[in-house]
């Protein structure tokens, strides 16, 4: 669970950063990989079906809905994680002193 929470925290940081500025190609790639890991956590068979197929789309939906339910079930914890991610993203935008 610790690895999952680390990856999840990174995805929230990705979201917060993207709300403040355009992310680089490398950042977007890293964020996409993290999002895929989160989906895999909620759907262990995620990624087995070829990309672009109906079965893969179904896997995406199942994983996404399971993740959203987990967020709802852990709303207070998730709010704290998102708040911290937003703070870190804002701090990263501050000029060095």
Q: Residue written as tokens 């079965």? A: 55
Count the residues in the chain: 97
Q: Say how far apart CA 65 and CA 62 lie, in whole Å.
A: 5
Average pLDDT of the residues of the chain: 91
Residue 23 pLDDT greater than 60, yes or no: yes
Q: How many domains does the chain have?
A: 1
pLDDT of amino acid 97: 43
Which is more confidently placed, 88 or 95? Answer: 88
- Start-to-end CA distance of the chain, whole Å, equals 37
pLDDT digits (tens, 9 = 90+) for 56-65: 899 889 999 9
pLDDT digits (tens, 9 = 90+) for 29-40: 999 999 999 998
Mean pLDDT to the nearest integer, 5-12: 97
Residue 94 pLDDT greater than 90, yes or no: no
Residue 96 pLDDT greater than 60, yes or no: no
> What Rg do the C-alpha atoms of the chain give, in angstroms?
15
Structure token pair of residue 40: 């895999």
Q: Residue written as tokens 């709300």? A: 19
- Helix 54-73 to helix 75-93 angle (10° resolution) is 100
Q: What whole-number percentage of the chain has pLDDT above 90?
A: 74
The residue segments making up the domain with residue 78 are: 2-93
Q: Say how far apart CA 22 and CA 47 lie, in whole Å.
A: 27
Q: Say how far apart CA 11 and CA 1 lie, in whole Å.
A: 15
């Amino acid at each position: 669970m610790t690895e999952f929470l680390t990856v999840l925290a990174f995805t929230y940081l990705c979201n917060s950063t993207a709300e403040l500025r355009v992310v680089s190609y490398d950042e977007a790639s890293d964020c996409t990989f993290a999002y895929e890991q989160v989906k895999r956590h909620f759907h262990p068979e995620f990624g087995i079906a070829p990309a672009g197929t109906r079965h893969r789309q179904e896997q995406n939906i199942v994983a996404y809905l399971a993740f959203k339910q987990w967020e709802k079930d852990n709303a207070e914890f998730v709010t704290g994680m998102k708040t911290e991610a937003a703070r870190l993203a804002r701090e990263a935008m501050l000029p060095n002193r």
